[in-house]
């Protein structure tokens, strides 16, 4: 094939013209003319869809093409262009979020203790103890153990042993998407599910100390809770 | 002064923990004061089989290292006032306890209890050495298959080297139908190789799977064949002489009918 720069394909919508974005427009136009001439009346009356790829085209270019098509009794129906690839064009910013530059030593007003993020499931025999909050992206299986001086948040099923506020913080909480711990401890309180408990919660729940006892409730985001009051 | 019995096998999965749970519960049901000690540190199961997992606060490693008093770590059973469990640690390994610590611990336990039943981990390494450290008698659990019997033989040798002579044998998971067809080793084959006293033959029983999942030892299930076998084991341990039960009467109705009209 000598002429890969112009490829004609039939489709239900009409004739599809794939045009090589790399060659110069005037050359391209001549090649299209040559192709159309060789097909003579065969294509007459059809509608044409031009795919320019990543080529940047002007309104004049389009008019020129339209005139060319008219000569061959064709009608330009649509043109397709793809976005230029982002290399050295100065438009990367629009494609990806800007990375933040965080000033050193500045403490965010919302920040309190340290938080440990664990992006995996804790299995039997695995144990995490941390001076701060612990967040698990995964499950905590029976036989696994989390001990934290702060809060514990499990984005998954919590089935193991958990101890929040292990250094005595009564205000610590434990939340999980499925809160089914073997044993749950907050500060100096120890609880476990009753032996005949077969109820399976399928909503996120939160455990915290209320009036001196560990209470488990359906988790409601704090803003909504405040509004409800 | 109580008696310290270790339950061991060498090979894993033959039913040490199930046997421990059933013997411990069975002895407690007879009115004895019993403590079961799980020495399988890092792979504890006895608490799960007993349905006591969610009561664990302190474990054997805490006791050995003096992080708590022995009494604090003992978990009272749901069913029997006189039955206790000392759980293993799950987040440590077998080397977290030394043999001298084990000896001291077991020595303290036997002051308080009639029976101290020790659940040994599989293998012959540190965990095994710890488990047998304070023991006075041993029960070897095996299955009627060559690999389990081979390991049991090795264990019996190791027990003798530690001055634990004349261990007792429990043959677990026997399938009478397969034995009858000659597809499984029978009691005499096993006895021939190991040459120790058999104190129980426990048939394969689906009730064991159910009881393990529920955390209710089968020994309390009067309808279960395995439960009956364990009740007999318990009686033999406590000194009663009970004949081995006939496992062949587990024939189905059709077989009984055939027997009746003399087809066999």
Percent of chain B with pLDDT over 90: 87
Residues in contact with A28: Cβ distance below 8 Å, sequence separation at least 6, in sequence order: A5, A6, A19, A20
Q: State yes or no: pLDDT of A188 exceeds 60.
A: yes
Q: State yes or no: pLDDT of B11 exceeds 70.
A: yes
Q: State yes or no: pLDDT of A222 exceeds 90.
A: no
Structure tokens at A166: 């292990």
Q: What is the pLDDT of residue A226?
A: 62
Q: What is the pLDDT of residue B30?
A: 96
Residues in chain A closer than 8 A to B57 (CB atoms): 183, 190
d(CA B199, CA B233) in angstroms, rounded, equals 6
Range B235-240 average pLDDT: 93
**φ, ψ of residue B169 in degrees (nearest 5):** -115, 135
Mean pLDDT for all residues in chain A: 82
Contact (CB<8Å) A127/B57 = no
Q: State yes or no: pLDDT of A60 exceeds 90.
A: no
Minimal C-alpha gap between A151 and chain B (Å): 20
Q: What is the pLDDT of residue A29?
A: 84
Using CB atoms, pick whichever of A125, A143, A190 lies closest to residue B57.
Answer: A190
d(CA A86, CA B165) in angstroms, rounded, equals 81
Out of 1.10.3720.10, 3.40.50.620, 3.20.20.80, 3.40.50.300, the CATH code matching B3-260 is 3.40.50.300
Residue A133, H or E segment: strand A133-136
Q: What is the pLDDT of residue B203?
A: 95
Q: What is the pLDDT of residue B47?
A: 96
> Which residue ranges make up each domain of chain B?
3-260
Q: What is the pLDDT of residue B238?
A: 93
b/e B61-74 (16+ beta carbons within 10 angstroms → b): bbbbeeeeebeebb
Range B1-19 average pLDDT: 95
Residue B22, H or E segment: helix B16-29
Question: Which of A36-40, A196-200, B5-9, B247-251 reaches the highest mean pLDDT?
Answer: B5-9
d(CA A134, CA A151) in angstroms, rounded, equals 6
> What Rg do the C-alpha atoms of chain B give, in angstroms?
19
- Find the farthest-apart pair of alpha carbons in chain A and give their distance in angstroms, rounded: 92
Q: What is the pLDDT of residue A30?
A: 86
Give the number of other CB atoms < 10 A from CB of residue A25.
17
Tell me which DSSP letter residue A41 carries: G
d(CA A125, CA A123) in angstroms, rounded, equals 6
* DSSP helix/strand/coil, B130: helix
d(CA B33, CA A178) in angstroms, rounded, equals 39
Contact (CB<8Å) B90/A124 = yes
Range B47-73 average pLDDT: 95
Question: Would you call B81 exposed, middle or buried from its count of C-beta atoms within 10 A (0-12, 13-18, 19+)?
Answer: exposed
Condensed to tens digits (0 to 9), the pLDDT of residues B101-151 reads: 999 999 999 999 999 999 999 999 999 999 999 999 999 999 999 999 999
DSSP codes, B139-188: EEEE-SSHHHHHHHHHHHHHHHHTT--S-EEEEEEE-HHHHHHTSS--HH
Minimal C-alpha gap between A183 and chain B (Å): 5
Q: State yes or no: pLDDT of B173 exceeds 80.
A: yes
Mean pLDDT for all residues in chain B: 92
Q: Does B123 touch chain A (CB under 8 A)?
A: no
* DSSP helix/strand/coil, B4: strand
d(CA A162, CA A184) in angstroms, rounded, equals 5
Condensed to tens digits (0 to 9), the pLDDT of residues B199-229 reads: 999 999 999 999 999 999 999 999 999 999 9
Minimal C-alpha gap between A143 and chain B (Å): 6
Contact (CB<8Å) B91/A145 = yes
| The pairing of beta strand B137-142 with beta strand B168-174 | parallel
Contact (CB<8Å) B90/A125 = yes
Place A31 in a pLDDT band, splitting at 50, 70 and 90.
confident
Residues in contact with B30: Cβ distance below 8 Å, sequence separation at least 6, in sequence order: B234, B235, B238
Q: Does B90 touch chain A (CB under 8 A)?
A: yes
Least confident segment among A49-63, A210-224, B150-164, B217-231 = A49-63
Q: What is the pLDDT of residue A202?
A: 85
Q: In what order do the strands lie in the sheet with A47-51?
A: A6-11, A14-19, A47-51, A75-80
d(CA B234, CA B120) in angstroms, rounded, equals 18
């Amino acid at each position: 094939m000598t002429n890969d720069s112009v490829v004609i394909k039939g489709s239900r919508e009409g004739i599809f013209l794939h045009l090589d974005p790399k060659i110069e427009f005037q050359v391209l136009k001549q090649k299209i003319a040559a192709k159309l001439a060789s097909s003579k009346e065969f294509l007459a009356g059809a509608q044409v869809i031009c795919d320019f790829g990543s080529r940047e085209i002007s309104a004049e270019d389009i008019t020129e093409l339209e005139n060319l098509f008219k000569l061959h009794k064709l009608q330009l129906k649509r043109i397709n262009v793809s976005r230029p690839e982002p290399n050295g064009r100065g438009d990367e910013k629009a494609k990806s979020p800007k990375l933040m530059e965080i000033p050193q030593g500045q403490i965010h007003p919302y920040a309190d203790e340290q938080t440990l993020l664990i992006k995996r499931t804790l299995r039997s025999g695995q144990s995490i103890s941390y001076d701060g909050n612990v967040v698990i992206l995964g499950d905590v299986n029976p036989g696994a153990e989390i001990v934290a001086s702060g809060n514990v948040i499990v984005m998954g099923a919590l089935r193991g042993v958990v101890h929040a506020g292990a250094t005595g913080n009564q205000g610590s909480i434990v939340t999980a998407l499925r809160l089914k711990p073997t044993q749950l401890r907050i500060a100096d309180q120890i609880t476990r599910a009753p032996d005949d408990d077969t109820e399976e919660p399928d909503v996120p729940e939160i455990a915290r100390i209320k009036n001196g006892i560990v209470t488990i409730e359906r988790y409601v985001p704090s803003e909504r809770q405040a509004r409800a009051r | 002064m109580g008696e310290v019995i270790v339950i061991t096998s060498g090979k894993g999965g033959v039913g040490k923990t199930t046997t421990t749970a059933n013997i411990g519960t069975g002895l407690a049901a007879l009115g004895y004061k019993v403590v079961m000690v799980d020495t399988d540190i890092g792979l504890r199961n006895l608490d799960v089989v007993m349905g006591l997992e969610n009561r664990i606060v302190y474990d054997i490693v805490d006791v050995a290292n003096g992080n708590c008093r022995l009494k604090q770590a003992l978990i009272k059973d749901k069913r029997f006032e006189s039955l206790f469990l000392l759980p293993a640690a799950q987040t440590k390994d077998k080397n977290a306890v030394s043999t001298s610590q084990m000896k001291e611990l077991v020595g303290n336990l036997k002051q308080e209890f009639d029976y101290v039943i020790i659940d040994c981990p599989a293998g012959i390494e540190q965990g095994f050495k710890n488990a047998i450290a304070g023991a006075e008698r041993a029960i070897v659990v095996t299955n009627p298959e060559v690999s389990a019997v081979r390991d049991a033989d090795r264990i019996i040798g190791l027990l003798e080297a530690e001055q634990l002579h004349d261990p007792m044998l429990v043959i677990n998971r026997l399938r009478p139908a397969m034995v009858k067809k000659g597809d499984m080793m029978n009691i005499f084959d096993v006895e021939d190789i190991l040459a120790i006293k058999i104190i129980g033959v426990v048939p394969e029983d689906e009730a064991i799977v159910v009881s393990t999942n529920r955390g209710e030892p089968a020994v309390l299930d009067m309808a279960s064949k395995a439960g009956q076998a364990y009740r007999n084991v318990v009686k033999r341990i406590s000194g009663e002489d009970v004949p081995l039960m006939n496992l062949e009467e587990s024939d189905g109705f059709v077989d009984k009918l055939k027997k009746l009209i003399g087809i066999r």
